[in-house]
Structure 1
């Protein structure tokens, strides 16, 4: 979060103290932000407030993608939290094309799904990814502005489509959220994003 605070204008909680044990982070003390999560506030927000939040989040993602991974002193490889076929597909530098057999082995309706995946190239650009950009991890004010993006535990450098895969995976948990993802997320690979997210819901 310190890296994000120092290199972007994305609002994140201020880190007050970090406790470590044997070199690993044990706990992080952050300042308290007295706002509601987007998940809790969503039903009370007006359409104009929702589109405003979506545009703010889009701007944050643009900033993340403008970061240079070579200048990130904290970069390290770790998997996003995934299960089943995602154990191999969602790791940094993953090669989706070599995992097409994972889809064909699932049977109908996924036997032909892998044909939609070649556009997710093995040489996709690595971009800084939050990894869990769900409404529960976004705080908003009463006026409908983003005041903090929380839970950067899984943040790191991943292929550019990974952020959207996670976002679409969470989309059905909040009525109407899907309609705003097209504003929040970059437009490229939209079909592939939704294909993978749909498959995830059936595989689990």
Structure 2
């Protein structure tokens, strides 16, 4: 059932004629740069009538990100910016998005003391959001990988799995179950100079569920992609790695990011999210050790 929602903060969507053209957006005098790097630029642009829009563009921006956001706004209550327009221009894509005021969850948590109960309470509000996201089960035969990806976009195909830089990608339709994906990861692991059957069996295989359901996943879950305002989660951002993955991907990839952090304060913030939402303490860090080991061997 469609649950399309109007923009919550900016009123009605602006007419397409009011949006700046891509060639105007790239001009340095247009808009405020919020982020730039890795083939992406995010700008905050004010339209003639005063309404603000976010434009995300670059050679590493893909229309699939806008399409999955539109799907989720139609079929769920997950807080996501409205996608006003998707434009292909030169070698990249321009996403024109609703501007939602707020600050990222990491900054909010860093201001609170370590044992402030509000830390857990705020992170726990993500639980029903992720439950709803993961309730979207892939139709049988759906290839695992980025949403709305295509075979020629092989470098974005398994974008959420930054665990193993692939030497070879399997045929596009070959990975449709958790077992398929795990067998491919194993083949990649064993192809590495230090990858052995014994290290796979003791350090990696125990953390992987071959029977996990393939669901719609965010693919890059961390506190910097969660937008907060007045003590509420108002948006989940950055869906470029979203796609169909086994149920464990969001938790395990997030855990891998956490274990690779060096800054103690940032690590504490990451643990807040993992403890409140993903159940890390209950499972124990050993459950997620495979992510760290796999990344180390892939270097």
Q: TM-score, normalised by structure 2?
A: 0.55
| Aligned-pair CA distance for 1:81 | 4.5
1:63-107, Cα deviation, whole Å (9 max, x unpaired): 1121133399x9545212545735379x76443246446268436
Report the Cα distance in structure 2 between the residues aligned to 1:84 and 1:56, rounded to whole angstroms: 28
- Whether the 8 Å CA contact 1:37–1:139 is kept in 2: the answer is yes
| Aligned-pair CA distance for 1:115 | 2.5
Residue 96 (structure 1) aligned with residue 182 (structure 2): yes
Equivalent residue for 1:185?
278
Pair 1:200–1:145, CA change in 2 (3 A): farther
- Whether the 8 Å CA contact 1:50–1:144 is kept in 2: the answer is no
Greater helix percent: which structure?
A: 1
Pair 1:193–1:165, CA change in 2 (3 A): farther
| Aligned-pair CA distance for 1:7 | 1.9
Pair 1:179–1:25, CA change in 2 (3 A): same
Pair 1:191–1:45, CA change in 2 (3 A): closer
| Aligned-pair CA distance for 1:20 | 2.9
| Aligned-pair CA distance for 1:39 | 2.3
Instruction: Name the SS of the counterpart of 1:95 in structure 2.
Output: helix
Aligned residue-pair number: 199
Task: Give 1:151-170 correspondences, 5 Å limit.
Answer: 151-170=238-257
Structure of greater Rg: 2
Task: Choose the corresponding residue for 1:85, options 164, 170, 176.
Answer: 164
Task: Choose the corresponding residue for 2:83, options 15, 20, 27.
Answer: 15
Instruction: Name the SS of the counterpart of 1:85 in structure 2.
Output: coil
Q: RMSD in angstroms over aligned alpha carbons?
A: 3.6
Residue 197 (structure 1) aligned with residue 291 (structure 2): yes
- Whether the 8 Å CA contact 2:123–2:272 is kept in 1: the answer is no
- Structure 2: tracts of 5 or more residues without a match: 1-68, 150-156, 170-174
1:101-152, Cα deviation, whole Å (9 max, x unpaired): 62684369x95353241552444210110001111111111x3321110011
Equivalent residue for 1:4?
72
Task: Give 1:124-139 correspondences, 5 Å limit.
Answer: 124-139=212-227
Pair 1:129–1:113, CA change in 2 (3 A): same
Task: Choose the corresponding residue for 1:68, options 137, 141, 159.
Answer: 137
Pair 1:195–1:131, CA change in 2 (3 A): same
Pair 1:144–1:199, CA change in 2 (3 A): farther
Q: TM-score, normalised by structure 1?
A: 0.77
Report the Cα distance in structure 2 between the residues aligned to 1:19 and 1:56, rounded to whole angstroms: 33
| Aligned-pair CA distance for 1:28 | 0.7
Report the Cα distance in structure 2 between the residues aligned to 1:37 and 1:146, rounded to whole angstroms: 9
Equivalent residue for 1:50?
119
